[in-house]
Amino acid sequence: MLPDYGIYYTQQKKAFISDAEEQHIISHVADYAICVVRVVELEAEHA
């Protein structure tokens, strides 16, 4: 499994936004919080 990462636009409730929505966010960046998460698979521990 490869690492997974990306941007989720919480306020818009979607992972992909239009160019117009992106430009609005860029123009008003102080109004948004940014959180970046990287998901990786860990090996299971064998008891």
Query: With contact defined as beta carbons under 8 Å apart, do 38 and 3 qualify?
Result: yes
Q: How many structural domains does the chain have? A: 1
Residue 12 lies in a domain: yes
**Nearest CA to 2 among 45, 38, 37?**
38
The pLDDT value recorded for residue 10 is 84
In this structure, the strands spanning 37-39 and 4-6 are antiparallel
**Structure confidence by residue, pLDDT tens digits, 15-47:** 888 999 999 999 998 998 877 777 777 777 776
**Structure confidence by residue, pLDDT tens digits, 4-16:** 667 778 888 888 8
Residue 27 lies in a domain: yes
> What domain range is 22 assigned to?
4-39
Output 4 or 2, whichever has higher pLDDT.
Answer: 4
Query: With contact defined as beta carbons under 8 Å apart, do 5 and 38 qualify?
Result: yes
Residue 26 lies in a domain: yes
Residue 44 lies in a domain: no
